[in-house]
A = this chain, B = another copy of it.
């Protein structure tokens, strides 16, 4: 699966369509106990429900021990080399990475963006530097700009529910009261292109995603045109990239409702959750038979089992 020993982005996967099918097939078989006597350490700099549960359970299903640490309760890490650490940082990421990877066989990290400094966020410092210094595989549990376990899950779910060879996949921005990261959307797009999907992205002007992630896809600013004939509607809020971290649109016009969905080809509705009901999408959409919400969530477990198995086999 992996051309390096980490699971940071889609670039770690050699043959993405093959890996997606392999991950789906892996759901049906008894999990090999190849993690016995090994330990996964999960570092959460931000809250988590699905990611923590699915990754912990996946690791244990493979026989691993798991320790999850709430890093928001711990001392702050220094990210820069050569600094005189006189102020608010009590340990250098270099030292933390060396020590933790001295104990663990795999390390998972969740670290959200600041949403105040685009350049810094898009360097994805914490994940990149930890991977640089660590001596064991690192799994991205949602970094400042990517969420690859979610995206593998999303590709598995589309593959399982697509009825035609080339389904029309739409990524629709939707409203949200808080400024949110672009990680899920970024990752979705880079995995989709690798999986062979040309995504129709629709969002209000000013919400253009970073060029690095939109290549191979098209933008349609008219949400109704975008929805026309869609087979999958993947919904997600994100804050502006150009006016970094800002909320530019807060009305209900972009909310996904039955009227919008009626323009599609009986599209399946997808979202990574947690979802604010009747803000992002209406109950009627979320609770319809075409909603894949809980199937997606369940696939998080299987995606994690697949990725960890591959990393353990490589190790």
Contacts and interface: CB of A to CB of B under 8 A. Distances in A.
A contact patch SS: mixed
A236 to B, nearest CB: 15
B52 A69 contact: yes
Contacts of A68: 67
A102 B177 contact: no
A49 interface: yes
Interface in A60-99: 60-61, 65, 67-70, 73-75, 78, 81-87, 89-92, 95-96, 98-99
Interface residues of A, number: 55
Given A49-B74, A74-B47, A283 B82 contact: yes
Contact of A293 (B73, B75, B95): B95
Contact of A84 (B54, B100, B279): B279
Interface stretch (A148-156, A163-171, A204-212, A268-276): A268-276
A231 interface: no
Interface in A267-298: 273-279, 283, 293-294, 297-298
